[in-house]
Each structure stands twice: as C-alpha cells, then as structure tokens.
C-alpha cells in the first residue's frame, strides 16, 4: 500500500458519501506498499455507531477491467468463511467508483477493515497458520467462476528486465544485472507446465496478512490475484516469510509454512519436485518488479521502494539449496 494521489478533505468526503457508510470522520494515508494509494477511514457508520474502512485508489499495474475479478473474489472468499475483507458496494450496487483526472479516470474501492497487525518477524506458529489459510483459500476459490491470467508471470519478468535495461539494473547493483542476465533465460526455458492451477493470491507477504497472536485475522491486498500454478503461490509465500531481514534462511519457519499448507491441501509429487524452481521464479518476479519500482517511483510518492537485491539473493539460495522444500 502507498499514497500517490492526494485527495482533499472535501473530495474525500464527497467520495465516501457515495457509499452507505455514514459521514467521513477522518482519513489517514497508508505509506506501505508500491502499487496503489490507500487510506484508513473512520466514518460515523450507517447506524451511527462508527466504522472503519480501507479506501484504495488504483494507480498502476492494475487495469480497470480486472477490478471485478479482484473485488468479486473478495466477496466470494468472505462468503466461504476465509478471513478476507468484504467489498463495500456503493449506493447503486457497484463494486467501485471512479474519479475523473487529467490523465484519465481512476477507480476507487471501499473494503471492510479487519483487525490485526502485520508481523515483521514471523514465528513458526504464525507461518503454520498462514500456510493453512493459503491452502484454504486455494480450496475455497475452486468454484470461483471468473478467471484472470497472471499479469506478473514469466513474460512480465522478461518485459520488466528489458524496461530496466542492463545499465539500469547495474545502477541498482552490478550483481543484480549479472543475476538477471544469467538466471532469467534459464527460468523462462525451464518453467514448469501441467501442475495444478487455480486462483492464487500471488503476493502474500507478511504485510498482506493480519494476525492476532498465531491466528490469521485477515488476508488482504488481492490486487495481484490471478489463475496460475497453486504451488507457485506457496513458493511466493515461502520467499516472503522464510528469510530474516538479512536474507538468512529460517528453517523452522519454512518447515512450519509447508506443514500448515499440507495440513489442509496435500501437494502432489510433481508439485513438491517443482517447488525449488518455483521458488527461484517467485524470487525473480519480485526482483524484477522491485527493480522497476526502484528506477521509476516518483520522488514525491509517500513510499520507499523495496530493495530488489533481497529477492535476488533468495533466488541464489533456492538454487543452491533445493532440499529446503523436501
């Protein structure tokens, strides 16, 4: 999450009036994340008892035609009992509203606020709970009727690498340019096919999970959700949860994450065999998106670009230590 577009109090109040949630009391920008502008809102509530919501304005990497998929998925999963926020429809029943702007209309959605905090140093117990909820999400979305291709799939890694260019990658870190030049072609040529697919979250970092102790109270930020390899989603989550801030591997968290997942949905033999490569691919995906952000984030945006070298180092770890998924 982040804030790229600044809304005045009057405009914010007018936007909120389009929903049956009472009168706007306060709005606070949320600085984390990289793709959308987000605010934590407090309103009087439709019943006058007060309520909290998250308002999201979609800035880039998200196409307007994809919003019904993302927002309907939230409603589908919430109805199945998954800990995800419901979409708040406007007074006319729409999933989102639009705001005219000089560069075109921007869409905004209001979603339910869920309690909990995002952990910075996950425990094994927390990772086990997240693995189980990820598996439940995969099963609950099995009958979701819509489908969306992965906009951050292999082809997009290649496009982002080209857009950054070897010189741009080298400006970030010469080691990054060398890793991309050597590893990206290998991953593209060896990417697995024929594995079970379905709806995936595709971005389940700790800051997209809300927890109270070892209980998951919210899975949020579904704006990279798509239909792709289910085990790839586990690999993405592994990249995000199983290393410390210095990129040192945390074996206990890794084992717990996979145990939690398989306690709900067993991996097939081919899925488990593919996990080392899927982990490398997940690391490359985040290295490429972060590299592009590093080179292109506006200087006045209330967001700090994330270091692309962190996932790049994790890619190297997976390549050298495939047994961590055994």
pLDDT recorded at residue 103: 66
**Confidence band (pLDDT; 50, 70, 90) for 46?**
confident
pLDDT in tens, 255-312: 999 999 999 999 999 999 999 999 999 999 999 999 999 998 776 665 678 999 999 9
User: Is residue 60's pLDDT more than 80?
Assistant: no
For residues 34-49, give the mean pLDDT.
86
10 Å CB burial of residue 246 (0-12, 13-18, 19+) is exposed
pLDDT recorded at residue 2: 52
**Confidence band (pLDDT; 50, 70, 90) for 188?**
very high
Please list, in sequence order, all residues whose beta carbon lies within 8 angstroms of the beta carbon of residue 21, skipping any fewer than 6 positions away.
Answer: 43, 45, 46, 51, 53, 88, 110
pLDDT recorded at residue 1: 40
pLDDT recorded at residue 280: 98
**Confidence band (pLDDT; 50, 70, 90) for 62?**
confident
pLDDT recorded at residue 105: 81
pLDDT recorded at residue 80: 97
Rounded CA-CA distance 293/160 in Å is 10
pTM of the model: 0.91
Selected residue with higher pLDDT from 6 and 107: 107
Residue where the block lists tokens 């890794």: 254
Percent of the chain with pLDDT over 70: 94
User: Is residue 64's pLDDT more than 90?
Assistant: no
Instruction: Supply the CATH classification number for the domain 124-325.
Output: 3.90.1200.10
Q: Where in the chain do CATH 3.90.1200.10 domains reside?
A: 124-325
User: Is residue 183's pLDDT more than 70?
Assistant: yes
pLDDT in tens, 128-157: 999 999 999 999 999 999 999 999 999 999
For residues 205-219, give the mean pLDDT.
97
Q: Where in the chain do CATH 3.30.200.20 domains reside?
A: 9-112
Percent of the chain with pLDDT over 90: 82
pLDDT recorded at residue 232: 98
Rounded CA-CA distance 156/237 in Å is 19
Contact (Cβ atoms closer than 8 angstroms) between residue 21 and residue 38: no
**Confidence band (pLDDT; 50, 70, 90) for 100?**
confident
Mean of the per-residue pLDDT values of the chain: 93
Instruction: Supply the CATH classification number for the domain 9-112.
Output: 3.30.200.20
């Amino acid at each position: 999450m982040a804030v790229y577009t600044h809304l005045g109090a009057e405009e914010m109040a007018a936007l909120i009036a389009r929903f049956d949630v009472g009168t706007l009391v306060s709005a606070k920008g949320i600085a984390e994340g990289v793709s959308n502008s987000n605010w934590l809102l407090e309103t009087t509530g439709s019943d006058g008892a007060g309520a909290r919501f998250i308002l999201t304005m979609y800035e880039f990497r998200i196409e307007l035609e994809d919003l019904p998929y993302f927002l309907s998925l939230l409603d589908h999963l919430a109805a199945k009992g998954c800990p995800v926020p419901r979409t708040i429809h406007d007074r006319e029943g729409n999933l989102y509203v639009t705001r005219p702007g000089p560069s075109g209309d921007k869409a905004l959605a209001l979603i339910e606020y869920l309690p909990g905090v995002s952990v910075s140093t996950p425990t094994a117990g927390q990772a086990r709970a997240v693995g189980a909820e990820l598996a439940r999400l995969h099963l609950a979305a099995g009958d979701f009727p819509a489908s969306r291709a992965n906009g951050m799939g292999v082809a997009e890694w290649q496009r982002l690498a080209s857009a950054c260019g070897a010189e741009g990658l080298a400006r970030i870190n010469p080691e990054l340019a060398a890793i991309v030049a050597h590893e990206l072609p290998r991953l593209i040529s060896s990417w697995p096919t024929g594995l079970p697919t379905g709806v995936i979250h595709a971005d389940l970092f700790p800051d997209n999970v809300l927890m109270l102790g070892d209980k998951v109270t919210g899975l949020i930020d579904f704006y990279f959700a798509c239909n792709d390899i289910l085990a790839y989603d586990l690999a993405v989550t592994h990249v995000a949860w199983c290393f410390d801030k210095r990129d040192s591997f945390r074996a206990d968290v890794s084992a717990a994450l996979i145990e939690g997942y398989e306690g709900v949905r067993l991996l097939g033999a081919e899925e488990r065999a593919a996990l080392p490569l899927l982990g490398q691919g997940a690391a490359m995906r985040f290295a490429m998106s972060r590299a592009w952000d590093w080179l292109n984030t506006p200087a006045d945006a209330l967001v700090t670009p994330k270091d692309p070298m962190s996932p790049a180092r994790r890619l190297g770890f997976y390549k050298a230590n495939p047994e961590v998924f055994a």
